[in-house]
Amino acid sequence: DQQVKQNSPSLSVQEGRISILNCDYTNSMFDYFLWYKKYPAEGPTFLISISSIKDKNEDGRFTVFLNKSAKHLSLHIVPSQPGDSAVYFCAASTGANSKLTFGKGITLSVRP
Amino acid sequence: GAGVSQTPSNKVTEKGKYVELRCDPISGHTALYWYRQSLGQGPEFLIYFQGTGAADDSGLPNDRFFAVRPEGSVSTLKIQRTERGDSAMYLCASSLNPAGPGETQYFGPGTRLLVL
């Protein structure tokens, strides 16, 4: 039973354009959401997070949007760069426990 | 500063053998987590330590898996009687403060375990 779902396994975008990575969750107890980026042969690297009391958090080229009623969040990368090519994981946790529940990940390819 | 380190980076073993995987968290981080990532999947939680004690071991799949953190720093994940299905990437993460939302977990590069 996947509580965090990333339904698209891959995404390809042109350099300079916007990348939109989507994530859905089923557990209404989740109140903190994170995005991690992973390059081959490396561990996941924290990218950006958002608390359930917010609907948007921005950090440079990266913005995460949260729609609690739809149990949906998205990561926007603009402008996309070739160095952004990696696997992106959506993760969630509850206030009671910081263990993370991850989605399956989405492979982003940014074409030069 | 130094990040989370894990040794070995790769481990090949035979079915039925015992293995130990080591994690060195970021210095000063009190919380330590183990995750397992199978091919094509996201990391799955195994166990979480706060200091020396296991605060949550609900993700350990069965009693062949055990983890310790005797001095509140380095942790060892131990797998007895390994099975082919144990083959996966084992990831360790640490965070500065006790459990709670907003505490960023920093991951190590992982140990890739292959059970033949």
Residues of A in contact with B99 (CB under 8 A): 97-98
The confidence score (pLDDT) of residue B99 equals: 58
User: pLDDT tens digits for B66-105?
Assistant: 999 999 999 999 999 999 999 999 999 999 876 566 678 9
Of the candidates B56, B106, B110, the beta carbon closest to that of A99 is on B56
pLDDT tens per residue across all 112 residues of chain A: 789 999 999 999 999 999 999 999 999 999 999 999 999 888 999 999 999 999 999 999 999 999 999 999 999 999 999 999 999 999 999 876 678 999 999 999 999 9
User: pLDDT tens digits for B19-36?
Assistant: 999 999 999 999 999 999
Q: How many C-beta neighbours within 10 Å does residue A54 have? A: 13
Separation in Å, CA of B31 to nearest CA in chain A: 10
| Distance between CA atoms of residues B48 and B31, nearest Å | 7
Q: DSSP string of B78-90?
A: EESS--GGG-EEE
B111 contacts B39 by C-beta, under 8 angstroms: no
